[in-house]
Amino acid sequence: MRFTTARKVGRKFISLISDSRALQARSGGNVCSSGLPDRLRRTQICRAGSPEPARFRLARQIETNAIEQRYKEYHIVKAIVTKLLPDKRREKVVVNDWPEPAPPVGNEVLCETVYTGLTNGTERNQIIGGNYSAPDERLPAGGGYQNVGRVIKTGVDVTQFQRGELLYASVEHVERFTIAEDGLLLKLPADVNPAHAALFGIAGVAMHCCRRIDARIGEKVLIIGQGCIGMFAAQIANAMGARVTVCDIDASRLAQARQLGVAEQVFNTSGDGWNAQIEDDAYDAVMDFAGAADMVTPMIRACKWRGRVLLVAGRFDVNYTFNVGQHKEISILHCSHFTCDDLENVCRLLRQGTFSIAPLIRHQVQVDEAPQIYRWLRDEPMRLLGTVFEW
């Protein structure tokens, strides 16, 4: 969405420059760099053939006023954005003046949002000032990457979509958006519930992680953290043939994990639970979706020789005891964003019935109720699991 937004802003800026150039024809004279007609400049603010500093101030003010007016006209879309509070905390709110997307050109489609999904980890990271967050001076800012939209207009070169069709796109929480048909998106089959597809992004992250860790038949895989991505990863690793163990510190999430029925072992690691239940040298791979501080060394200890540790949850720094990792010749892995192929495989497993989304949706609410959801996300994150916003 960041690139789509940049493209929109660029078009609007070009439009403003075009308007400035058009003043030349209407004024009967040349147009200065600010868009002020020469004849106005000569008759009103030029003295003795030498421009005064006031000329530049007036020209800049005229241009600024015109740009601000046009800018306001384009801010007509509903969106969920992060804003800065007077006490320097952050919150997410619903606004009604976000930039309208540009009309689609070429192979782009214009979509109207039907559902968006909360990305618990990334969006909480952004509102508590974590490593993914925008600096204060760039707020307000959008966020999220799970959007289900209906195509309402297509560019002249579009071949894969028609008006009325639904797609999942890696796009922010915004009422309308423009995206290229070969962008990070997936056309939704008719038998996929679009509300469930609003969580395809975090499911896609789980798919990408399981492929990155290369879970294999018979391997023992420990999944730390049973939020949505952790539960999706448990299902996918199980489908890949791995023997899955999951752990968390929240009893309600562990109860949900047991109901999914894909983990051979489910451990509560609150208090001394890790030391009591997670054995050293027991796992071929460990996937960390929790990001708890000072836990990388214990994860390495839990791995077998030449095991793999995948660090997923966002953090500024990673620290571990070097000798422990060296002795085991451990592989420390990272994982970035999902791909279109990950989305296609999530959708395939969902349609086959080997992967479930519905049991993880705890809240499905109108978008105007989003501020309360985000207050919980910031202050009481364990209250939430899967959340879908209806637009």
Q: Which CATH number goes with the domain that contains 110?
A: 3.90.180.10
Per-residue pLDDT tens over the stretch 272-283: 999 999 999 999
Per-residue pLDDT tens over the stretch 370-381: 999 999 999 999
What's the predicted TM-score (pTM) here?
A: 0.81
Domain assignment present for residue 130? The answer is yes
**Distances, alpha carbon 373 to alpha carbons 90, 114, 250, in Å:** 14, 18, 19
Q: Which segments within the chain are labelled E, that is strand?
A: 46-47, 50-51, 75-84, 90-99, 108-117, 147-154, 166-169, 176-180, 185-187, 220-224, 243-248, 265-268, 283-288, 303-311, 331-334, 361-366, 386-390
Please indicate, yes or no, whether residues 324 and 224 belong to a single structural domain of this protein. yes
Average pLDDT over residues 42-62: 53
Please indicate, yes or no, whether residues 245 and 313 belong to a single structural domain of this protein. yes
Identify the residue with better confidence: 351 or 293: 351
pLDDT at residue 383 is higher than 80:
yes
Which pLDDT score, from 0 to 100, does residue 262 have? 97
Contacts within 8 Å (CB) and 24+ apart, 71-77:
71/12, 72/97, 74/12, 74/99, 74/100, 75/99, 75/100, 76/100, 77/101, 77/174, 77/175, 77/176
Identify the residue with better confidence: 49 or 33: 49
Average pLDDT over residues 59-79: 64
Please indicate, yes or no, whether residues 218 and 300 belong to a single structural domain of this protein. yes
Which residues fall within 8 angstroms of residue 342, CB to CB, at 6 or more apart?
204, 205, 207, 208, 211
Domain assignment present for residue 102? The answer is yes
- Which two three-digit tokens encode residue 160? 């894969």
Please indicate, yes or no, whether residues 105 and 23 belong to a single structural domain of this protein. no
Contacts within 8 Å (CB) and 24+ apart, 60-65:
60/34, 62/34, 62/35, 62/36, 63/20, 63/34, 63/35, 63/36
Domain assignment present for residue 235? The answer is yes
Q: In what order do the strands lie in the sheet containing 303-311?
A: 265-268, 243-248, 220-224, 283-288, 303-311, 331-334
Please indicate, yes or no, whether residues 169 and 231 belong to a single structural domain of this protein. no
Which pLDDT score, from 0 to 100, does residue 344 have? 98
Measured at the CA of 301, the angle between CA 297 and CA 304, to 5 degrees, comes to 135
Q: How far apart are CA 377 and CA 143, in angstroms?
A: 14
Domain assignment present for residue 138? The answer is yes
Please indicate, yes or no, whether residues 115 and 263 belong to a single structural domain of this protein. no
Which pLDDT score, from 0 to 100, does residue 63 have? 62
Please indicate, yes or no, whether residues 194 and 88 belong to a single structural domain of this protein. yes
Identify the residue with better confidence: 57 or 129: 129
Task: Look at the chain and report how many structural domains it folds into.
Answer: 3
Which pLDDT score, from 0 to 100, does residue 55 have? 62
Please indicate, yes or no, whether residues 165 and 143 belong to a single structural domain of this protein. yes
**Distances, alpha carbon 134 to alpha carbons 81, 126, 185, in Å:** 12, 7, 24
**Which SS3 state, helix, strand or coil, does residue 133 take?**
coil
Please indicate, yes or no, whether residues 92 and 15 belong to a single structural domain of this protein. no
Average pLDDT over residues 17-32: 38
**In 3D, which of 165, 222, 227, 162 has the Cα closest to residue 190?**
165
Domain assignment present for residue 169? The answer is yes
Domain assignment present for residue 206? The answer is no
Domain assignment present for residue 37? The answer is yes
Which pLDDT score, from 0 to 100, does residue 76 have? 77
Q: Domain of 222?
A: 212-334
Please indicate, yes or no, whether residues 28 and 139 belong to a single structural domain of this protein. no
Per-residue pLDDT tens over the stretch 104-125: 999 999 999 999 999 999 999 9
Please indicate, yes or no, whether residues 146 and 232 belong to a single structural domain of this protein. no
Share of the chain above pLDDT 70, in %: 81
Please indicate, yes or no, whether residues 103 and 196 belong to a single structural domain of this protein. yes
Which pLDDT score, from 0 to 100, does residue 3 have? 39
74, 93, 112: which is the final residue of a domain?
74
pLDDT at residue 2 is higher than 60:
no
Which pLDDT score, from 0 to 100, does residue 66 have? 59
Bridge partners, 265 (sequence order): 245
Q: What is the CATH number of the domain that holds 266?
A: 3.40.50.720
Q: Which of 24-28, 68-72, 195-199 has the lowest mean pLDDT?
A: 24-28
Do residues 176 and 110 touch, judged by C-beta distance below 8 A? yes
Domain assignment present for residue 207? The answer is no
